Structure 1
Amino acid sequence: MKTTIQQFLKQEDGVAAIEYGLLAGLLACAIITAVGLVGTDLAAMFNAVAGRLVSATPAAAA
């Protein structure tokens, strides 16, 4: 029984797969955060441009 447990603890077959999975998860979190921040800033910029365009155009005669 003791040798079986020791052999199980020495196996490292799945370690690389777990590390790659953790790395992929961390990378996904970083991408989601970056896209969220850029998207918010981009929306604010477009809203500012739209506001300036509305104020710059003359009112249409009705």
Structure 2
Amino acid sequence: MKTLWRLIDDCRGATAIEYGLLVALLAIAGLGVLVTINTQFGSMWSGLAGRIPSLSG
């Protein structure tokens, strides 16, 4: 029974879990930023490609 209470009171694993959750949150946020930037750059390159024939002629 003492072993069970000792495991319940042990908080050492909580820090590792918190860091893991923080890394996961940052990865999700970074992925969202990359998707947004990719969409914006795709629109920019499409607009530029559409204007190139009119610039050369």
Q: TM-score, normalised by structure 1?
A: 0.81
The separation in 2 between residues aligned to 1:31 and 1:23, in whole angstroms, is 12
Instruction: Name the SS for the 1:14 alignment partner.
Output: helix
- Alignment partners' CA distance in 1, 2:9 and 2:38: 47
Q: Give the CA deviation at 1:30.
A: 0.3
Structure 2 spans left out of the alignment, 5+ residues: none
Gaps of 5+ in 1: none
Q: Partner of 2:38 in structure 1?
A: 39
Match of 1:12 in 2: 11
**CA deviation vs aligned residue, 1:9-33 (integer Å, no higher than 9, x gap):** 0001111011001100110000011
User: Which amino acid is the alignment partner of residue 43 of structure 1?
Assistant: G
Structure index of larger Rg: 1
* Structure with the higher fraction of residues in helix conformation: 2
2:12 counterpart letter in structure 1: D
Give the TM-score, by structure 2 length. Answer: 0.87
The count of aligned residue pairs is 57
* C-alpha distance in structure 1 between counterparts of 2:18 and 2:28, whole Å: 15
